[in-house]
Amino acid sequence: MTESEASKDFIRQIIADDLKSGKHTSIITRFPPEPNGYLHIGHAKSICINFGIAEEFGGKCNLRFDDTNPAKEEDEYIRAIKEDVKWLGFDWQERLFHASDYFEQLYLMAEQLIEDGNAYIDEQVPDLIREQRGNLNTPGSDSPHRDRPAAESLDLFRRMRAGEFADGSMVLRARIDMASPNMNLRDPVIYRIVRQHHPRTGDAWCIYPMYDFAHGQSDALECITHSLCTLEFENHRPLYNWLVEHIDLPSKPRQIEFSRLNVSYTVTSKRKLLRLVKEGHVSGWNDPRMPTLSGLRRRGIPAPAIVEFCKKVGVTKYEGVTDVAVLDGIVRDHMNASAPRRLAVLRPLKVVITNYPELAAAETVEAPNHPGNPDMGTRLVPFGPVVYIEQSDFMEEPPKKYFRLAPGKEVRLRYAFNIVCDEVIKDDNGNVFELRCSYDPESKGGGGRKVKGIIHWVSAEHAVDAEVRLYDHLFTEPDPNVGDDFLDHINPKSLEVIQSKVEPSLADLTLEDRVQFERSGFFALDLDSKPDALVFNRVVALRDSWAKIQAKG
């Protein structure tokens, strides 16, 4: 890591200066998720910063689960978080920790605070404690228990641990400053009684530390040098520092904050994401419309594209919103370079080639797997007397400069033949359901007359049925949080499911494969897909059609 590289953002500059001055000989960072939900794209930025910076400077990054609230934590979330971090390309190796690893040490630290006169037991009800803390314009008022003798508080704290008292009957508070302009320093609660089975410690504990108490001390126990977190913790830093200074600890970590990753047409609040799941607005945490990493992965977005997106957003102190189109563009670039091309007709319209030889042997046409990369080779695609084309590639009464299929018009079927539309067949309601066309047998592979219109197709005899899921933004507003309820902005057209026809080679795709359906977009198999029932997700369209959709209303 050169000095010029390190100066790209303020965090890297701080770390470079600390190493240069000898304050640290190596660095250790950490990613400390709470296992009460699935990780989302905002977490991806934190993962990339903590793991990425440690890697750049030859340091280490710990994965530590903040499991201090057993009422909301589940093993499912722990498994999902591990999978997401690995998917993004990062490895904590042997450095997997939990706040619960330190419950005994944290408890003894709390006893030290009590003995030093820096913490006390408060027996008031939670509502009264909140009321006494005041607000931004009014200082707090002291609890009647604030000057309780240390020995009495210590006895009560030990009896709390022994399970003598009911949930909510008392708490341990740090004794700091009830008049502080920073609300976090107004004698914050650092321990509470919670009789809840813990996924790792079982029923060994009935008191649990608060996040603000456990976090800094866990950092110190792991000798974290730079505790990198998002800006909402900036006001918590004075408390972080106060606790680190008032407890005997093996190290003194430094907390540094950076701006969150906010993306348009997206919510990243765990509470709101949980509501989307619980109320059935999406199919689950890994619904491809969700901003969760599991949802993005299921949709087919490649992990390197997310990492590049996080790098492009950068590390700043300024909150902002990044247009989701930036992510879409990066995803397109990644997939455009590597995704093989395939023929798929999303909304089929039947075309019968009336002059095709009745007894012709099975015919194939040669198609490149990637027109821009000859090294990816070619494939043979079956052709026959009946094909499907896109409904949108035919107009009975076309406007001027319309170069696709219309009565009497000639187009090229990509990689195959030229056809002319001779007859339009309609149902009783006047809807076009079949076209009768003639073809030029001399035009195979680019011969014959040159035409401006080129459309894609699949052979009806050989086509494979597939369910295709077309995704759009989950919300209609760039900022879904405006108004009374973010659910008011749910996009009713965020998912469209259609029955399509695809070329037979797509039946051999795996969940890891990504392809471009020519002229349609990039697609991946969904987890629901089965060998005899293909299901494809559109990862991203070839171009952003959102503005056009909005304009049409």
Please give the positions annotated as active site: 34, 260, 270
Q: Which CA distances in Å does 95 have to 15, 28, 85? A: 21, 11, 13
d(CA 44, CA 35): 15
Contact assessment for residue 283 and residue 257, using Cβ atoms and an 8 Å cutoff = no
d(CA 468, CA 413): 22
DSSP string, 384-451: -SEEEEEGGGB-SS--TT--SB-BT-EEEETTS-EEEEEEEEE-TTS-EEEEEEEEEGGGGGG-SS--
Q: Tokens 């093989």 belong to which residue?
A: 340
Dig out the tokens for 210 from the structure: 């608060």
SS (H, E, C) 17-68: HHHHHCCCCCCEEEECCCCCCCCEHHHHHHHHHHHHHHHHCCCEEEEEECCC
d(CA 526, CA 511): 7
Q: Which of 506, 505, 443, 497 has the alpha carbon at shortest distance from 472?
A: 497
DSSP bridge partners of 411: 419
Burial 450-461 (b: 16+ CB within 10 A, else e): ebeebbbbbbbe
Backbone angles phi, psi at 410, to 5 degrees: -115, 135
Q: Which amino acid is at 496?
A: E
- A 10 A CB-CB count for 193 gives 20
d(CA 47, CA 32): 9
Dig out the tokens for 491 from the structure: 């996009």
First vs last Cα of the chain: how many Å apart?
A: 51
d(CA 549, CA 59): 48
Q: Which amino acid is at 14?
A: I
Q: Which of 27, 384, 34, 407 has the alpha carbon at shortest distance from 227?
A: 27
Backbone angles phi, psi at 366, to 5 degrees: -90, 130
Q: Tokens 């977490």 belong to which residue?
A: 43
Backbone angles phi, psi at 418, to 5 degrees: -85, 140
Three-class SS state of 248: coil
Contact assessment for residue 536 and residue 524, using Cβ atoms and an 8 Å cutoff = yes
Pairing of strands 458-459, 386-390: antiparallel
